[in-house]
Structure 1
């Protein structure tokens, strides 16, 4: 992906605080996206990463996925994943439980629950399928979620 005046990519670990100053040197607003990243970290590393962002970028947005025990076990048994050395190790059944890390949960959805604006733009067959999946997976809503958080102002020493 190429850098633009609105997006800049930095190589490094989300766990290494060295990237914080490089990001702080640019004007906000900030949106941090961790897609299929946190799920593979240890629980204490996930807390470290979220706290690092919350403490240093109050008011920023953080989007990331969470998964429950059932999902992690299923993925780790998958033929492709079974042959790899990486495993899903962090499980989060309830994204709201992460708010103590200095982030406020703004939205959390399963794939079968797209935002109303997005659902309205979907072809009729996908809207219908989305509704059906929402009913079928209602009991498993904690399996895999897409979440949006906002860092609380004053949440850290930043």
Structure 2
């Protein structure tokens, strides 16, 4: 029985889409990822999740999360005592899926989201929630005071909802305060941004993305020395990840690649090395 009501801002409400995607995925016999915690959270929230049933975007959200999980895992494999910062953490459970038992974690999001998150999670000696906007530089003080080793920033389904001036500010803040860090983020080109009113999931909520990025390579021009380590569409995932997906996913992605749909090609998952 649902126990917790939802009071979130328009953009913040979108966190429920990937949460539900992971819960639905968890029911499958051969999932792209397992997330029992997401299933438990969905079951306890009073919200009309049925509006997102049978949407292809749920699968896309799960694949995006899975790729970001892999990048964080690779980071922690080589830097087990490093720091992971989830920007716009929502109700993500990446810590539960990939934590290596030594890393320092920070979960950053707006106050209404953190209030909701505290219903399901608690701070620990290695894991801290921070209630702040990513554009507010004060949150970085708390991270720099406690962080150990290099940092990996994960901004999943967050930055496209900001204005470009704010995204530039955030990237500059990370580069200045945490030089040499890694940043995983998604970008949306004009073909994706312009189709939001017809998008299967975005059409079900009021929030709209604002930042248009047709070529992630332009991010390297914002800060000299920035490197684009990887950039993938959902139809061009890394071979190692593709080979490990269930056969049904491989078939679906092969079909998507053959179609080369403008909207699908305009949405990319990127890994940056900051200068």
**TM-score between the two structures when normalised by the length of structure 2:** 0.50
Query: Paired residue for 2:128?
Result: 8
Instruction: Give the drift of 1:100.
Output: 2.0
| 2:211 aligned with 1:90 | yes
Q: Is the 8 A contact 1:65 1:147 kept in 2?
A: yes
Instruction: Give the drift of 1:124.
Output: 2.4
| 2:186 aligned with 1:62 | no
Q: How far apart are the structure 2 equivalents of 1:136 and 1:77?
A: 18
Query: Paired residue for 1:45?
Result: 166
Higher helix residue share: 2
Structure 1 unaligned segments of length 5 or more: list them.
153-158
Q: What SS is found at the alignment partner of 2:172?
A: helix
Q: Residues 127 and 142 of structure 1: is their aligned pair in 2 closer, same or farther, counting only changes over 3 Å? A: closer
Instruction: Give the drift of 1:4.
Output: 5.2
Q: Is the 8 A contact 1:54 1:101 kept in 2?
A: no
Query: Paired residue for 2:247?
Result: 124
Q: Is the 8 A contact 2:164 2:210 kept in 1?
A: yes
**TM-score between the two structures when normalised by the length of structure 1:** 0.83
Q: What SS is found at the alignment partner of 2:130?
A: coil
Q: How does 1:110-149 map to 2 (within 5 A)?
A: 110-137=233-260, 142-149=265-272
Structure 2 unaligned segments of length 5 or more: list them.
1-120
Instruction: Give the drift of 1:5.
Output: 5.6
Q: How far apart are the structure 1 equivalents of 2:123 and 2:231?
A: 29
Q: Is the 8 A contact 1:47 1:101 kept in 2?
A: yes
Query: Paired residue for 1:107?
Result: 230
Moved more, 119-128 or 65-74: 119-128
* Structure 1 vs Structure 2 CA RMSD: 2.1
- Does 1 or 2 have the higher relative contact order (CA < 8 Å, sep 6+)? 1
Q: How far apart are the structure 2 equivalents of 1:68 and 1:39?
A: 10
